Chains A and B, each alone.
Chain A
Amino acid sequence: MSTSQHTGDAVVAAAKSAKHRDQQTRPGQFITYAVLALLTLVFIGPLLFILMNSFKGRFFISDAPFALPLGDYFVGLTNYTSGLARTNFFNAMGWSFVITVGAVAVIVFFTAMTAYYITRVKAWWTNALYLIFVFSMVVPFQAVMFPTVKIADMLGLSNPLGMIVLYLGFGAGLSVFIFSGFVKSIPLQIEEAATIDGCSPLQTYFYIVFPMLKPVAITVAILNTMWVWNDYLLPYLVIGLSTPYKTIPVAIQMMAGSYGDNDMGAMMAMLVLAIIPIVIFYLSSQKYIIEGVAAGAVKG
């Protein structure tokens, strides 16, 4: 089908129908809200469950997981204080923060460039590279886990900086994949015009292309932030054990004891603390997503 023709028609007749559309949606709105409200409950329930139980004594979490933290069940901030005492939590939060920010910045910066290059430059090796990146996403981490840890150790990457390098490597697949999808949608003419105006490829990329990738960059940044912030196995094996750089997921996982010796209360409390920064991050970056997406609408 030919969408460009539709676009042409559309520009002419854009304004008229806005009102028309509003009228159409009104009857359906109630149902829409009901569905959304129900979904909200389903989506937020488990989080409330964790929050609620973080204020209950550990036996009561087992005994009555759905009871409200009232009366005997309520232990105040005990879980929080004991959890903090056991995990060195704020230290872990610091390292999580450093590694996440560093890794995401590096991933967005470099993979966008890579994606741009391999999408624009058609050669056997850029095609192959694209496929290799894509396929790397389907390999279960466990398949490369031991060799990766060994190589990271050999290269002296068992530190936060090394983790950032490893995350760039592991994040490359998904990020390049997403970026390339959107680079394709940018009309080549814009870049050609820039070149005619005397821009070098690097200038073209940084002044023209990258700003257009902003909405996608934000999506990529968010997806990677969540992944890196919550990632457990890689930091555990590379830096979590024998270095002081424990991240939050590692610190929390270390709270579980043997023979079923689990202080679920303290664990829930630390989970709540772990979620807070990323919720704040998400809430604050959400504005940019919407703006970015609106600004990035560059379809011809």
Chain B
Amino acid sequence: MKPSKRILGAVAAVAALSLMAGCGGGGSTGSSDESSGASGGQVYYLSFKPEQDAAWQAVAAQYTEQTGTPVRIVTAAQGTYEQTLKAEMAKSDAPTLFQINGPVGGAVWKDYALDLSDTDFYNALLDKSMAVEMDGNVIGVPYVVEGYGIIYNQAIMDKYFATSGAKAASVDEINTFAKLKEVTDDMQAKKDELGIKGVFAATSMKPGDAWRWDTHLANLPIFYEYRDNNVTDMAEVSFKYNKEYQQIFDLYLTNSTIDPKLTPSKAVTDSMAEFALGEAAMVQNGNWAWGQVADVAGNTVTEENIKMMPIYIGVDGEEKQSIAVGTENFFSVNSKASEADQQASIDFVNWLITSDAGKSAMVNDLGFIPPFSTFSATEQPADPLAKQVVAYMGNTDLYNVAWNFTTFPSKDFKNSFADALTQYAVGNLEWSQVVEVFVTEWAAEKQG
């Protein structure tokens, strides 16, 4: 066999065929070439959240209309951003603007990310430490902040506070794990009286649906471990606050709508459905949750009654702890794109955070809580949970829990941890084994 000859032949044939395909394509116009007009640059943004696609398309159209710069926004299907980006980046017409999810994503894409330290949007950041820096370059700039905590239904809480022997008179009194446990234990005992199936919506452990525990909840012990060591990342962790993690996780499992043995059959949507239907009083989730339940048939939770409180895990001084506010959405500009396209992308982001139209789109259409100084206190989303997050951010008495999970070694690490948690929940693993998985997988995956 002479493979080299065969391959050459194949390649030649391929080239010939592509010519044919190009001619025959008639009506199907290509996507790239017609647009190198005006300033020369164009924007191709590979977006992250499918539910925001329509809003982004409107923003793109508006920007093109105002400036003449072509903007193409394409959204990756849910859960496939990395693989989509890997495919798109290799194409001739690669994204000029893309997103990374933090330092870990930054490490993957650092060869493709332009230094953004001179851009207006980086300099407009309220907190520059939020940006992703690597080798002295700013390679990712956050464009939205989000917050998560324990979301509760005020109506059910009020009903509880009115019961005889209630352990608290208002949610404000709940500011430690001990109090949270005391209240929710009592609520669970009175669940029939309150008309609920359980205090906490189901602990969703279905494969792929455990991120509230393997990522968001796991962020808290890691936040405290980093804080104790005064660092922002660690190659190895001891999972020092594992006991605290265990007790809040146990609390979720016990004071729940379902038997812990059945948690592996529940998805996040199931938990949110329970909360929306009024079957549960509390659910751990973030400000995006409102959009998922508002205006859906069967929802019983009103705009005034949906509130958020911090997740208390039993650490000293947690009375001063706030909700977890941060981001895993950072803009990066493709360093391998043409200079004109890079500039066009930077201009587009600048427009988003400075022009009235851009700001309105960010806040009202995309529902973002923007982390930029160019937005005034009134330029914030109207969503009830977003308002709560903004209020927490403005509360200087409390300290924020940073989103340190963006430094978690990999998705694989989270999956391993979730897997162990699931087995713990159904009673097949001891807690010490879960801790061991956490520690060893962390170290191993950090090595890459």
Contacts and interface: CB of A to CB of B under 8 A. Distances in A.
Nearest to A252: B77
B50 A264 contact: no
B78 A75 contact: no
A145 B88 contact: no
B88 A259 contact: no
A59 B276 CA distance: 8
Interface string A121-164: 00000001000000000000000011001110111111111100
A236 B272 CA distance: 29
Nearest to A75: B297
B74 A241 contact: yes
A237 B83 CA distance: 9
Interface in A13-51: none
Contacts of A255: 50
Given A165-B21, A254-B75, A149 B91 contact: yes
Given A242-B72, A254-B77, A260-B267, A128 B91 contact: no
A157 B291 contact: no
B92 A258 contact: no
A46 to B, nearest CB: 17
Interface in B2-61: 14-15, 17-18, 21-22, 24-25, 28, 30-31, 44, 46, 48-51, 53
A261 interface: yes
B124 interface: no
A242 B93 contact: yes
Contact of A243 (B31, B267, B274, B299): B31
Contacts of A286: none
B195 interface: no
A255 B270 CA distance: 17
Interface residues of A, number: 44
A241 B273 CA distance: 31
Interface in B274-301: 274, 276-277, 279, 285-286, 288-289, 291-292, 296-299
Nearest to B93: A242
B14 A242 contact: no
Contacts of B353: none
A190 interface: no
Given A59-B277, A146-B87, A253-B77, A259 B286 contact: yes
A89 B211 CA distance: 31
Interface string A45-72: 0000000000001111011000000001
A156 B22 contact: yes
Contacts of A275: none
A258 B267 contact: no
* Chain B contact patch, size range: 35 or more
B299 A256 contact: no
Contact of B17 (A78, A165, A245): A165
Contacts of B279: 63
A261 B294 CA distance: 12
Interface string B71-100: 010111111100010111011110000000
A260 B90 contact: no
Contact of A256 (B46, B50, B84, B270): B50
Contacts of A253: 77-78
B88 A242 contact: yes
A121 B268 CA distance: 59
Nearest to B29: A159
Nearest to B44: A242
Nearest to A73: B298
A257 interface: yes
Contacts of B53: 254
A7 interface: no
A262 interface: yes
Contacts of A57: 296-298
B299 A259 contact: no
Nearest to A258: B49
B201 to A, nearest CB: 11
A258 B21 contact: no
Contacts of A58: 269, 273, 296-297
B299 A59 contact: yes
B377 interface: no
A241 to B, nearest CB: 5
Contacts of B91: 149-150, 153
A85 to B, nearest CB: 10
A253 B269 CA distance: 16
B1 interface: yes
Contact of A237 (B14, B84, B288, B297): B84
Contacts of A160: 28
A257 B49 contact: yes
Nearest to B77: A253
B298 A242 contact: no
A241 B76 contact: yes
Contacts of A260: 204, 209, 267-269, 272, 292
A157 B50 contact: no
Contacts of B84: 237, 241
Contacts of B74: 241-242
A236 B78 CA distance: 12
Nearest to B276: A59
A128 B268 contact: no
A254 B291 CA distance: 18
Nearest to B204: A260
B366 to A, nearest CB: 13
B25 A145 contact: no
A258 B50 contact: yes
A158 B29 CA distance: 10
A135 to B, nearest CB: 14
A255 B269 CA distance: 14
Nearest to B292: A261
B349 to A, nearest CB: 20
B268 A63 contact: no
27 contacts: A59-B273, A59-B296, A59-B297, A63-B273, A149-B87, A154-B18, A155-B17, A156-B18, A159-B30, A161-B21, A161-B25, A161-B28, A162-B21, A236-B80, A241-B74, A242-B31, A242-B72, A253-B77, A254-B75, A254-B78, A258-B51, A258-B78, A259-B268, A259-B286, A259-B292, A260-B268, A261-B288
Nearest first, the 8 closest Cβ-Cβ pairs linking A and B are: A260-B268, A155-B18, A257-B51, A62-B273, A59-B273, A57-B297, A256-B78, A62-B270
Interface of A: 57-60, 62-63, 72, 75, 78, 128, 145-146, 149-151, 153-162, 165, 236-237, 241-243, 245, 250, 253-262, 264
Given A58-B296, A156-B18, A241-B88, 15 more contacts: A57-B298, A58-B297, A62-B274, A63-B277, A159-B21, A165-B17, A165-B21, A241-B76, A242-B31, A256-B77, A258-B78, A259-B292, A260-B292, A261-B288, A262-B269
